[in-house]
């Protein structure tokens, strides 16, 4: 699957300014290299509606050859036939997730070196590290770690890292300098022309 972490777009309907299907198509048009369906938070869809949207977004990714990840929901990984799953520190146990999906790509969120030490990150294919900058897309976001925090964690692992949290056109170059990928929610999903933003991010 190459370097799919380069520009990793994450969203759910709650993040979108326009129809999620249109937002995703435009983001792909702009050149995103992976997508994660993260239907989560106060205004998120639930139940059948979440599954239906997931099917439509999964299909768009399939048509364009973009790897499709599901955030936190093992059942949905099965139902949608996802290429990978992303797990947080307080969500699923990565040991169980790896047992259930031996050949899928698995991402793990890590915010601090302490979390890294207590994590089975060796079972993951990549780490999502942040928030690197201030974010408004996650209610329970941990403290901002900065590019220094990103580099510190990167230096301790042998798997690829994708930065997350507050990444936009004004600061993405700082992330690029570290060699980490960039994962982005609001700077793409919340915009009128996602394709133009993505072109400036890549």
Residues of the binding site: 36-40, 71-72, 91, 109, 135-138, 166, 185-186
Residue closer to ligand TZP, measured from CB, 185 or 197: 185
Q: Say if residues 33 and 5 touch (Cβ distance below 8 Å).
A: yes
For residue 131, whether the previous peptide bond is cis, meaning omega lies within 30 degrees of 0, is yes
CB under 5 to 8 A by kind: which of ligand TZP, Mg ion, none does 91 bind? Mg ion
167 binds ligand TZP (CB under 6 A): yes
CA–CA distance, 63 with 59 (Å, rounded to integer): 6
Q: Is 103 a catalytic residue?
A: no
44 to each of 10, 61, 99, 157, 186, how far by Cα in Å? 14, 20, 29, 33, 15
88 binds Mg ion (CB under 5 A): yes
Q: At which residue do the structure tokens 């901002």 appear?
A: 144
Pick the piece of the chain touching ligand TZP (CB under 6 A) from 1-9, 58-66, 130-138, 155-163: 130-138
13, 50, 58, 109: the active-site residue: 109
Task: Out of 12, 54, 131, 194, name the contact with ligand TZP by CB under 6 A.
Answer: 131
Q: Is 109 a catalytic residue?
A: yes
Task: Out of 130, 149, 181, 194, name the contact with ligand TZP by CB under 6 A.
Answer: 130
Q: Which candidate, 132, 188, 118, 125, places its Cα nearest to that of 164?
A: 132
CA–CA distance, 138 with 64 (Å, rounded to integer): 28
- Residues assigned a catalytic role: 38, 109, 138
Chain residues that interact with ligand TZP, rule: CB under 6 A? 130-131, 135, 137-138, 141, 164-167, 184-187
């Amino acid at each position: 699957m190459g370097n799919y972490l380069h520009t990793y777009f994450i969203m759910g309907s709650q993040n979108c300014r326009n129809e999620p299907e249109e937002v995703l198509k435009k983001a792909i048009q702009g050149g995103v290299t992976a997508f994660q369906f993260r239907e989560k938070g106060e205004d998120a869809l639930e139940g059948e509606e979440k599954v239906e949207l997931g099917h439509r977004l999964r299909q768009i990714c399939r048509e364009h050859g973009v790897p499709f990840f599901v955030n936190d929901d093992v059942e949905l990984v099965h139902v949608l036939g996802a290429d990978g799953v992303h797990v947080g520190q307080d969500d699923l146990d990565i040991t169980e997730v790896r047992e259930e999906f031996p050949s899928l790509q698995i991402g793990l969120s890590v915010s601090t070196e302490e979390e890294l030490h207590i994590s089975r990150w060796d079972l993951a294919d990549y780490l999502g590290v942040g928030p690197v900058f201030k974010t408004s897309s996650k209610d329970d976001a941990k403290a901002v770690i900065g590019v220094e925090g990103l580099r510190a964690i990167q230096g301790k692992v042998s798997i690829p890292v994708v930065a997350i949290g507050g990444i936009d056109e004004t600061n993405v170059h700082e992330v690029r300098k570290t060699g980490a990928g960039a994962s982005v929610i609001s700077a793409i999903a919340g915009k009128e022309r996602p394709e133009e933003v993505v072109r400036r991010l890549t």
